[in-house]
Structure 1
Amino acid sequence: MVKHVECPVCKRQVPDTSINSHLDKGCQDPVPSTSKLAPLFTTKLGKRGTETRPKAAGSTRGSSPDIVLIEDKEVSKEPVAKRAKVENVAPIFAQSSAMPTAVSDAALTASAPLAEKLRPRVLSDFVGQEHLIGDGSLLLSLVESRAIGSMILWGPPGCGKTTLARLLSTSTDGIFKELSATSSGIADVKKIFDEAKRTLKLTGKRTILFMDEIQRFNKAQQDIFLPYVENGWITLIGATTENPSFKLTSALLSRCRVFVLERLSDEEITTILTNAIQRASQVDANQEVEPDREPPSSRTLFDCSQENGKGLAEQALKAEGGLRPISSEVMKTIVNLSIGDARTALSLLELVLTSPRKATDASIISHLRRSVSSRYDRSGEDRYDMISALHKSIRGSSGDGAMYWLARMLTAGEDPLYIARRLIVVASEDVGLADHRALTLAVSAYNAVQMIGMPEARITLAHLVAYLAEAPKSTRSYEAYKRAEEAAKMDETAPVPMHLRNAPTKMMKEMKYGEGYLYNPSYRHAI
C-alpha cells in the first residue's frame, strides 16, 4: 500500500515517492484521489413504490413501498460528465460552472486602481530612490549577491516601499508571501511561519514575508518575528511610514537592516506620469472586445497589463480620437498636489483621463484640488515636524513663517490646546528674560483657548504667535540651566557646604551646620 503525505503548500495528500516532483511542478500536477466513499454513496437508490424490500425469514409483514438498494452491477457506467447534461440543473449554475477562471482573474486585475496596474515588473523600471538602487549602492549589491537579508523599509506613503519589496523578492529563489498588519493578525503570521519551516525542510527554499504597515503590530506582537528571523527560517521585509526607532522593538531592529526611502522629487513624479501616459496611449484601439467573454466589471480606463481585454480607453480612442490631452498646467497641478506620492499622482492622472473632453483645464484643476485631502497625521511625524517649524520660525522672529505653520496645523485639525502648550514653552525658552510679559500672555492665551475653543481660538493663538515672534529673544535662563545640569551630573554625590546647611536644632549648631553664613539683608550691598 502506497503511503501518502500532506503537501506543505497545497495541503493535498500526495504519494511520498512523488512529493518532490509535486513541489517542483508548483503543485500543478494532478493527484489521484485516495479517499473511498462509503457504500451509501456508491449505490443507486430505487424509485419509491416501484421496488419492494426483501422480507426477512419468518416475517409475516407484507411488502411496503420503500427505498431499496440496487446491486452495483446495475449502476450505469455512463460517464458522470455526460449524465450531468440531462439532469435538471438551473441554467445559472450550469453557466457559472463553465465560466473560465481566466475571465474572473481578468476582472479582478482590471478592477485594480491605476497605481496598482502600473507597478514596475523589473528593477530597471523603478523610478526614484537612487541612493538605494543606484550603481554602487548597498541594496543593489545585496540584490546582485542574491542574499538580501531581513530589512525594514521606512518612508512616506507612495515612495515605492511595496513595489521595491516585490522586486527584491524576484531576485531570490524564494517563496514570496505578503501580509498587511492592518488586516492580519498573529494567527496569520504563525500559519505562514509554520508553512515556511516545512517548505524549507522539504525543498530548501526560504520564504520571503513582506509585512506592510508593520508598525501596526504592538511591541508584544512583534516578538513573534524574532526566532524565525534570527534562525534564518524566513526573510522579513517590513514596510512602515513611522519612525522605526519609536514604533519597532530594539530586538527586531537589531536583526534587520533599516533602509530609508525618501519622498519622490517633482522630476521623478513627472517621469512616472509621463510613462503612464505613454502606456495609456499604446492601447490598440482596433482590437475589438469580446463582450460574451469579458464581464463589464473588467472594463477599465486602459489596459496596463497588456494581456487582458481592452477598456474604456479604447472607446475614447474610437469615439473621440484618442485620450484626453493633458496641458502643462494640469500636469504641474498633479505634481504639486501629489507632494512626492506616486500613488496620489497616478490617481489624479486617472481622474483627468476619465474627465469629459469638454471640461476646461480650470474646472479640472479645481476638481483635482478638492479631491486631495490633507495628510496631516496627529499621531505621526507630520505633527512634530510642523510644531518644530512653528517653534523655529518664532525663534528666528519670522512672523510670516510662524503664522503660516500655525494655519497649516489648525486647518489640518490639530488640537489648539496642544499648540498653546508648546507656545508656553517658547515664551520661557526663547523669549525668557528679554520680555517678562511673554510667559504671562502665553498662560493667559492657553486659558482663553480652553474656554472658547475653535474656531475663535485661532484668533487668540494668532495673537500670541505674532507677539512671541516680534518679542526680543533671550535664552540666558535656558542656557544657564543646561550648564548647571551638566555640572550636577558630573558629581551627584557632592555634599552641601556646611555654611549653606540649615541648623534648626542645638545639636546641629554644635556640629557647625550653618557656621560662617552671612545673612545678606544685614548688609547694604550683596555679598
Structure 2
Amino acid sequence: MRPRTLDEVVGQPHLTGPQGLLRRIVEAQFLPSLIFWGPPGTGKTSVAFLLAEACGYRMTSLSAVASGVKEIREAVQEAENVLKFQGKKTVFFIDEVHRFHKGQQSLLLPYVEEGLITFIGSTTENPSFEIIAPLLSRVQVVVFREIPFEDLLHLLQRALEEERGLRGKAPPFEEEALQWIARLADGDARQALNMLETAALLARQEGKKRVDVDFLQGLFQRVSYLYDKSGEEHYNLLSAYHKSLRGSDPDAALYWLARMLEAGEDPHAILRRLIACASEDVGNADPQALLIALAAREAFDFLGEPEGRLALAQATVYVACAPKSNASYRALQEALEDVKKYGSLPVPLHLRNAPTGLLRQMGYAKEYQYVHDFPEGFVLQEYFPTSLGRRVYYRPTQRGYEKVLAERLNLLWGEQK
C-alpha cells in the first residue's frame, strides 16, 4: 500500500497540495537534498522512494545502524560511476539518520556539496539536535505531520478495496471496527495497516463472516502512544504540561498529565516540573502551592502506583488554579546580574559577625541594630554593600498572598521598596 503517486500520500496536504514542496519538486524534476522529520508511520520512507522514481533518480538505501565509513565510500564510488557512464544521479536515502555519528555525517558533506549525490535522511528526532550544523545547512528540512484520524480511516478502507491490498483476502470490516483501528494506531499508518492485515488474516483463518470491534479488542490491547522518554516528544509533553499549569488551565494540565502517565513517563519527571512551576510561576502569590507539590511527591513515593497518581492529579489541579506570580524568579535574576556585574563586594562591617574581641575592635557588628529591640520588630538600616547602594529586586504583584506582602513591605520601607 505504499503510495505510488503524490495523490496517494495521505495526511500531508501541506507537502502534496498544489503549492506543496513535494508537488513542486516532482513538477520541476529536480530533487534537492532533504531531511524528512516526523513521527513514525507518516510516510517518510515511502515518499523518499516515490520522489526518486518520479524524478528519474537512482536510489541507494543505507542503514544508519549497519553502515560504516567503508560502506558509505563504496556507495559513493558506485554513484560516481553511474553518473559518469549512465548519466543518472543517485539518491542516498538514510533511514533514522540521527543514528549516524558525527564522523559518518561529516563524510557526506563534500559529496552533497559537489552534487555528486542527493541526500535524503529520515528521522523521528529533532534535526536541530541530532544533525551536525554543516550538513543541516546544506539540506532542507521537511516536516511530516501525524496522520489525522480521517485520513487513516480512508487509508484502511482503500487497503480493503484495492487488489494490492486485501481485496478478496479478508471478510468485511464493520465501519466501527475500522474506526477503532484508526484510533488505536494513533496517527501511525504503518501500525494501522499492520493491525488491519493481522485482523483480516486471523478472521479469515477462524471463519469470521464479519470483523467487529469485539473481535479486535481480543487481539489488540491498547494504544501504543507516540512517546520517547528521552527525545523530542518527552520535552514537548512536559512543556505543554508546564504551560497549562502556568496558564491556569487545570483541565489541559490534567490531559497532558494523563498522556504522559499512559505513555509510561517517569512520574518523578512530572513531579519535578510541577514543583518547579509551583516555585517559579506561583511563588508567593500562594506559598501553599509549593508545599502541596512537595507533599504530592512524598505521597506518590509512599503510595506508589496507581494510588499515587491521585496525589499528582490533586497537586496539578491546585497549582493550575493558584494565583500566579514570577516576582521571586525575576528578583533572583536581577540579583544575579548585579553579582556578575559588581563581583564580590565586601560585607558592611555592621552586618559581620564578631565572635572575638579583636573583630569587635575592628568594628565588626558595630552599629548593628537588633530588630527585636524595637516595638514593631523592624528598624530602618542598610543591608546592601555600601558601594552597591540600595536595590529593589522583589516587586510583589497584587495577586493572591503577594498583595499582603506588598502592603507589608510598603508599610515598613515606604518609598525605599
Q: TM-score range by the shorter chain?
A: 0.7 to 0.9
Query: Separation in 2 of the partners of 1:517 and 1:372?
Result: 61
Aligned AA (1:352): A
Question: Is 1:351 matched with 2:193?
Answer: no
8 Å CA contact 1:178, 1:211 repeated in 2: yes
Question: What secondary structure does 1:224 align onto?
Answer: helix
Cα deviation 1:424-465 (Å, max 9, x = unaligned)? 111012211111122233334435545665445434323322
Change in CA separation of 1:208 and 1:131 when aligned onto 2, cut-off 3 Å: same
Change in CA separation of 1:222 and 1:448 when aligned onto 2, cut-off 3 Å: farther
In the TM superposition, residue 480 of structure 1 has moved relative to its aligned partner by 5.2
Query: Separation in 2 of the partners of 1:214 and 1:393?
Result: 33
1:172 to 32, 41, 55: 55
Match of 1:244 in 2: 127
In the TM superposition, residue 369 of structure 1 has moved relative to its aligned partner by 4.4
Question: What secondary structure does 2:173 align onto?
Answer: coil
Query: Separation in 2 of the partners of 1:260 and 1:437?
Result: 43
Match of 1:153 in 2: 36
Which stretch shifts more, 241-250 or 216-225?
A: 216-225
Match of 1:206 in 2: 89
Cα deviation 1:1-31 (Å, max 9, x = unaligned)? xxxxxxxxxxxxxxxxxxxxxxxxxxxxxxx
Cα deviation 1:290-336 (Å, max 9, x = unaligned)? xxxxxxxxxxxxx54xxxxxxx975x6xxxxxx41222211221222
Query: Separation in 2 of the partners of 1:154 and 1:516?
Result: 51
Match of 1:55 in 2: none
In the TM superposition, residue 481 of structure 1 has moved relative to its aligned partner by 5.4
Match of 1:431 in 2: 282
Change in CA separation of 1:236 and 1:471 when aligned onto 2, cut-off 3 Å: same
Aligned AA (2:115): G
Q: Decide which structure has the larger Cα Rg and report it.
A: 1
In the TM superposition, residue 152 of structure 1 has moved relative to its aligned partner by 0.6
8 Å CA contact 1:393, 1:469 repeated in 2: yes
Match of 1:185 in 2: 68
Counting matched residue pairs gives 358
In the TM superposition, residue 390 of structure 1 has moved relative to its aligned partner by 2.0
Question: What secondary structure does 1:159 align onto?
Answer: coil
In the TM superposition, residue 168 of structure 1 has moved relative to its aligned partner by 0.8
2:174 to 299, 323, 327: 327
Match of 1:412 in 2: 263
Question: Is 1:441 matched with 2:292?
Answer: yes
8 Å CA contact 2:184, 2:224 repeated in 1: no
Match of 1:221 in 2: 104
1:337 to 181, 184, 188: 184
Cα deviation 1:94-128 (Å, max 9, x = unaligned)? xxxxxxxxxxxxxxxxxxxxxxxx11223333333
Identity of aligned residues (%): 43
Question: What secondary structure does 2:162 align onto?
Answer: helix
> Which structure 2 residues correspond to residues 298-309 of structure 1 after superposition, within 5 A?
304=165
Change in CA separation of 1:447 and 1:189 when aligned onto 2, cut-off 3 Å: farther
Question: What secondary structure does 1:411 align onto?
Answer: helix
In the TM superposition, residue 502 of structure 1 has moved relative to its aligned partner by 4.6
Q: What residue ranges of structure 2 are gaps of 5+ in the alignment?
A: 353-358, 363-384, 391-410
Query: Separation in 2 of the partners of 1:517 and 1:313?
Result: 83
> Which structure 2 residues correspond to residues 390-409 of structure 1 after superposition, within 5 A?
390-409=241-260
Q: What residue ranges of structure 1 are gaps of 5+ in the alignment?
A: 1-117, 281-302, 305-311, 317-322, 507-512, 519-523
In the TM superposition, residue 197 of structure 1 has moved relative to its aligned partner by 2.4
8 Å CA contact 2:173, 2:211 repeated in 1: no
Aligned AA (2:31): I
Match of 1:28 in 2: none
TM-score by length of 2: 0.75
8 Å CA contact 2:180, 2:213 repeated in 1: no
8 Å CA contact 2:58, 2:89 repeated in 1: yes
Aligned AA (1:137): G
> Which structure 2 residues correspond to residues 37-116 of structure 1 after superposition, within 5 A?
none
Query: Separation in 2 of the partners of 1:172 and 1:259?
Result: 18
Match of 1:385 in 2: 236
8 Å CA contact 1:159, 1:341 repeated in 2: yes
Change in CA separation of 1:181 and 1:334 when aligned onto 2, cut-off 3 Å: same
1:460 to 311, 324, 329: 311
Cα deviation 1:387-423 (Å, max 9, x = unaligned)? 2232233233333433333233223221122111111
8 Å CA contact 1:269, 1:345 repeated in 2: yes
Change in CA separation of 1:122 and 1:402 when aligned onto 2, cut-off 3 Å: closer
Aligned AA (1:336): R
Aligned AA (1:236): F
Query: Separation in 2 of the partners of 1:128 and 1:359?
Result: 28
Match of 1:267 in 2: 150
1:475 to 318, 322, 326: 326
